[in-house]
Amino acid sequence: MRWHSAGMSANYPFFKGFVMTLSGRDSDILELLIADYIASAQPVGSRTIAKRYNARLSAATVRNVMADLTERGYLHQPHTSAGRVPTERAMRYYVDTLMNVRELDENERELIRERFDGADTGLDKILRRTSSILSTISHYAGIVTCPHADQIAFKHVEFLPLSRKRLLGIFVDRSGTVQNTIIDTDREYTYPELERINNYIANSFVGLTLSEARDKARKELEGEQTHYDKLLARAMMMSHELLNSVTDGEVVFEGERRLMDTPEFSEVDTLKELLSALEEKRQIVNLLEQCGENEGVKIFIGSESSVPVEGVSLVTAPYKRGGKIIGTLGVVGPTRMDYSHVIPVVDFTAKLVGDLIDAEG
């Protein structure tokens, strides 16, 4: 499958920037150079390209074209005696105009499905496994954003006694994800009291999202109703503490060791810089949230990725629950990553994750 310059293919709509069209010969030479660079991670010389061209062009002719592409910002020469490497501009042109992307065959799709077989149920566990699977299949790093509070549907809250003045608060959402927190209280609660509290909370929050439940707990505490019943007031206080402890909007990242296997991040200091930037998360979270606003695979090359580390690219796609986008998943790797392999992997995985989430009910 060939990408179209308009930035859209039949199966993979994606984000792109404006690129100028190169002549046929220039495009051919650039495509051969980038293919060699993706495979080797080494600067590519004119002799190598001439051999790939089956002697139809001399090394001198190829060298002249490469010099012209360098002047136009598509290639860079790291050292005077070295070959050329593609710039971000060249990689964007390659992805938008030159690259062929094929559909995964049934064996490849089945391999991804099998990696989800036997996995623990629950949205949280599915998403954590997804990040690991994306890393394994792509040979780079996998990244997944978890749903925000307005996308998490309340199912059940329960408080259980741990000791005289400590309770275990349990939150369960409709996907089956369970989160716990320990709550310190100012007194001991009897089982009948806890039963009344649990029933009251269940009835108060039924059918709400986590965001709506948090708002309701806050408003109940500020309102008049709980002033007449100290037990229910305490129930709302405990619920408020439990609901605010529930994790939402988390970013799951797996594959640091696989990034170490790439020449670009094999240096410890470079890898630490990348991991530190990903842990900061603020910029990348904003980018991933934007990816979740629209359908399709999106590709961010180098500086487009918002990661303040040179040479990092992202390939992302949104995943859904019930036909509604609730998060984003993708692959983080070097700008030299094998996009033609990563794009269909990310696209298929996003659709598969949506099917698994829907099957959870």
Q: What pTM, to 2 d.p., does this model score?
A: 0.78
| pLDDT given for residue 103 in this prediction | 87
Tens of pLDDT, residue by residue over 159-168, are: 999 988 899 9
What's the topology of domain 152-245?
Enolase-like; domain 1 (3.30.390)
Model confidence band, residue 306 (pLDDT cutoffs 50, 70, 90): confident
Q: At what angle do helices 282-291 and 268-280 cross, to 10 degrees?
A: 60
Query: What is the C-alpha to C-alpha distance for residues 184 and 162, in angstroms, rounded to an integer?
Result: 10
Three-state SS string across 38-65, please?
Answer: HHHCCCECHHHHHHHCCCCCCHHHHHHH
Residue 226 has pLDDT above 60, yes or no: no
Q: How many CB atoms lie within 10 A of CB 82?
A: 13
What's the topology of domain 24-98?
Arc Repressor Mutant, subunit A (1.10.10)
Domains 24-98 and 152-245 share a fold: no
| pLDDT given for residue 184 in this prediction | 92
Task: State the number of CA atoms in the 13 A half-sphere of 307 facing the CB.
Answer: 24
Query: What is the C-alpha to C-alpha distance for residues 120 and 137, in angstroms, rounded to an integer?
Result: 20
Structure tokens at 245: 């402890």
Report the mean per-residue pLDDT for the chain. Answer: 84
Tens of pLDDT, residue by residue over 9-55, are: 334 444 444 456 788 899 999 999 999 999 999 999 998 898 877 66
Domain ranges in the chain are 24-98, 106-147+249-360, 152-245
Query: CA of 263: how far to CAs of 67, 140, 202, 343, in Å?
Result: 25, 12, 54, 21
The CATH architecture annotation of domain 106-147+249-360 reads 2-Layer Sandwich (3.30)
Query: CA of 284: how far to CAs of 25, 100, 111, in Å?
Result: 37, 28, 29
